[in-house]
A and B are shown apart, each in its own frame.
Chain A
Amino acid sequence: MKNLSRLWSNTAVRIGLSVFVLLIGLGTCAPWLGTVDPAAMDSSFISVAPGVAGEMTLPDGTEKQHTFWMGSDNFGRDIWSRVLYGTRVSLAVGMTTALLALSTGALLGLLAGYFRLVDALLMRLMDGLMAIPPVLLAIALVAALGARFGTVVLAIAVPEIPRVTRLVRALVLTLREEPFVEAARALATPPALILWRHILPNALAPLIVQGTFVAASAVLTEAILSFLGLGLPADIPTWGNIMAEGRIQFTQHPSNVLFPALFLVPAILAINLLGDGLRDELDPKFSKRT
């Protein structure tokens, strides 16, 4: 409890977390925030300006009084609805990717840091992975595996894994020399328990910090992939998809790109801010604890 209140007292954590929670809230409450089905098209509302209102025909044939707060795209879909539902997908991609990259990277890093033989093999593999440009690797993976939620997450996570692995490995290399770890060895604690009980908890703080940066970059990479037409299928709204479709009409209707960007930019900023704040509070090098 005391630790949590200490975290909350950091301004960067407070701002970052607030914006992040607000975005999650917007995404979760999308159905009740004046939205319609994000896939619903109405040919009578093609590329209308932000603020236009009228009776919109939904796919099931019913009519609904609807205000296009952010205008509509060239298929007559409501941008506001698409951006809000897109928030769900974009943030989900970010968090799932972070979780996948962290857990895999942590596992590999623990093994590499503690067992010499694994280290030699694993780290060469990671070096190889790191030599490939991340977006290129992601494109190749999506191209090979097909564009689904799972594969997109995997494609974005894989290039991040070597970075997490290296971080954890470096932490393990220092932690394994700590007297409390050596004492555990002297007490006959088996390696798996040493890693789980003594090393991992002490590596967690930097790992969480790294996680926020992975999440931020994942949201961005997903947008880039979608923008290049290699992300999730076009019928699933994500911030990147909406911008990609808006790009065609950018000069006439810049709002189609600007509104999702208005969500994307603060989201990235907030997650990075949260990470910076957490690092200041959690990372021992910056710790002000006595």
Chain B
Amino acid sequence: MAGPILEIERLRIALPAHGDREFAVDEVSLTIHAGHTLCVVGESGSGKSVLAMTVMGLLGRGLTPLAGRIRLGDSILLEEGRRLRESQWRALRGVQMGMVFQEPTTALNPVLSCGEQVDELLRAHTGWGRKERQSRVLETFSQVLLPNPDRIYQTYPHQLSGGQRQRVVIAMAMILKPALLICDEPTTALDVTTQAEILRLIARLQADEGSAVLFITHDMGVVAEIAHEVLVMHEGRSVEQGKAASVLGEPREAYTRMLLASIPSMVPPPPRARPGGTQAPILRALGVSKTYGERGWRQRHGAKAALSEASLAVWPGETVGVVGESGSGKSTLARCLIRLIEPSAGAIHWGETAVEGLSEARLRPLRSKVQIVFQDPNRSLNPRYPVGKSLIEGAINFGANAQDAHALALELMDRVRLPRVALGRYPHQFSGGQRQRLAIARALACRPEVLIADEAVSALDVSIQAQILDLLRELQDELGVALLFITHDLRVAAQLCDRVVVMEAGKIIEEGPTGELFRNPQRDYTRRLLAAAPSLDRLRESAHVGLLETDPAAPLFLGDSSPCAS
């Protein structure tokens, strides 16, 4: 087909009045040709998802297109604020454009079987008979490499893994062979290994069908893996636009350079001099297990081990990383270690004291030793409690008087570089990164010996993530607190941790000094994790082919060999 599949010209979309800025999307233009992938990359709030929603005609209330033009194939979707009628738009969705959402769990209807959901689309848009539709659904299921399509057809979404669910969503988006596929952060909710598979699948389907792909992501690593062209967005504006190799290789704009510089590298820095050495560990787990099970009247049955026989020790001042996919038991381990949940078996020592089996009341006087920072900054502070009071809650609980506590609050605000006057504010008046700083400050207020960070930077934008990591490093140097850093992101682990512990299916399968482990992993699982992590190093080193080469069976698509290179 001649000409681009999707063309957006000077699109401008207004935000509701009194927002932090006037336009959600401001004068953004882009074109995507058949067989090409355009990655729109930006931090949260950059307007990249609004762009996708506008093309799908799914703009939320309050967002009004003011100006600009969107053309998809032969249809004008939007011109100078006039939208297509809803019925016309509906006829295009699924047929001309398919969409893959971030969260496959909520994108699928939990009460319909996967087959029925995909079938619904065919019933709406084709006049095919039952047999024909079913064989097409099964065919598409095998196209997206779902194992055993016949069974998946009957299966309900909750019975599938996250990756499989996302494959069903992709099947739904691709079944009518749309000219345009819109992917809005399709791999953000998935594990790295699954992410790699899904990215490969999208690339392969695109090569087979020749569709244009509009790919929204915040992850420059993913961009490096998949994009032909890149559009960098910041606060609704297009910052930089062009071929992937040139934008990522020789970025012209400072913002792009900052984004690229914020991505942690997979190459660990040289190991630092470890403090202590002969001291006793301050946090120790010996054969800790946690079993969940349906509780019967008298006994447990169908018990499932979330954590089995995990042993680990943390020495003063060091940073230990715990990595693994979701469901590998990392968080369960963290919550056992800090005794938010009670382990089913095993011993946990805080310093000299054994804390497994201690009652909540007996634990309370000991709790100052171990503190925790959670993943979601929006939920880690009480929304109805001024942050100043949240900060000193621990200190007050351990007997500080009001005056000392106030002085401490001021000191903590300085430490995490927030203005002192903000102490009286409420959490919603802070940004995500600032809230995470507050959560760290709160945890440090009672002078812990170990700080457990449970995915503490995973919900943050890369630039903010880099700042928080710097802050953690700095606080550790100043206070000598040990860090137990739980993450699914190997790049972060590579940069921050002295030692790394790898977990799979509730077990610790490998551990070692970061540099050694990254250079020379002993277990297949670790190797797979390392190989799957999207990274810019790969683009720089091998120009774009690393990920795709890992599966020789999958048809490749390469940036420079694609059709329509303009």
Please list the residues of chain A having a beta carbon within 8 angstroms of any beta carbon in chain B. Answer: 178-191, 197-198, 201-202, 204, 289
Contact = CB atoms under 8 A, between A and B. Distances in A.
Contacts of B368: 188
B21 to A, nearest CB: 13
A183 B443 contact: yes
Nearest to B335: A182
Contact of A188 (B390, B397, B428): B397
Given A185-B340, A188-B394, A190-B364, A180 B380 contact: yes
Given A188-B365, A190-B397, A197-B385, 16 more contacts: A179-B375, A180-B383, A183-B372, A186-B338, A186-B340, A186-B367, A186-B371, A186-B443, A187-B371, A187-B393, A187-B397, A188-B397, A189-B397, A201-B382, A201-B384, A202-B382
Contacts of A182: 340, 372, 374
B442 interface: yes
Contacts of A201: 382, 384-385
Nearest to B397: A188
10 contacts: A180-B379, A182-B372, A183-B439, A187-B367, A187-B446, A198-B385, A202-B382, A202-B383, A202-B384, A289-B428
B376 A188 contact: no
Given A187-B371, A201-B385, A179 B379 contact: yes
A180 B382 contact: yes
Nearest to A190: B364
B385 A183 contact: no
Nearest to A204: B384
Closest 6 pairs (CB-CB, A-B): A187-B394, A201-B384, A179-B374, A188-B367, A179-B380, A188-B364
A182 B341 CA distance: 10
A9 B360 CA distance: 46
Interface of B: 338, 340, 360, 363-365, 367-368, 370-372, 374-376, 379-385, 390, 393-394, 397-398, 428, 439, 442-443, 445-446
A179 B376 contact: yes
Contacts of B397: 187-190
Which of A186, A188, A197, A198 is packed against the most chain B CB atoms within 10 Å?
A186
Nearest to B392: A187
Contacts of A198: 382, 385
Contacts of B394: 187-188
B372 to A, nearest CB: 5
B122 to A, nearest CB: 33
Nearest to B363: A188
Nearest to B341: A182
Contacts of B338: 186
A181 B445 CA distance: 17
A79 to B, nearest CB: 47
Nearest to B15: A290
Contacts of A188: 363-365, 367-368, 394, 397-398, 446
A289 B19 CA distance: 11
Nearest to A189: B397
B340 to A, nearest CB: 5
Nearest to B20: A290
A284 to B, nearest CB: 10
Contacts of B380: 179-180, 183
Contacts of B382: 180-181, 184, 197-198, 201-202
A186 B364 CA distance: 8
A186 B372 contact: yes
A9 to B, nearest CB: 13
A198 B381 CA distance: 9
Contacts of B376: 179
A63 to B, nearest CB: 60
A179 B443 CA distance: 13
A228 B382 CA distance: 48
Contacts of B443: 183, 186
A182 B375 CA distance: 12
Nearest to B390: A180
Contacts of A179: 374-376, 379-380
A288 to B, nearest CB: 9
A178 B379 contact: yes
Contacts of A189: 393, 397
B212 to A, nearest CB: 32
Contacts of A178: 379
B381 A180 contact: yes
A216 B352 CA distance: 59
Nearest to B375: A179
A180 B384 CA distance: 11
A182 B382 CA distance: 11
A46 to B, nearest CB: 58
Contacts of A197: 382, 385
Contacts of A289: 428
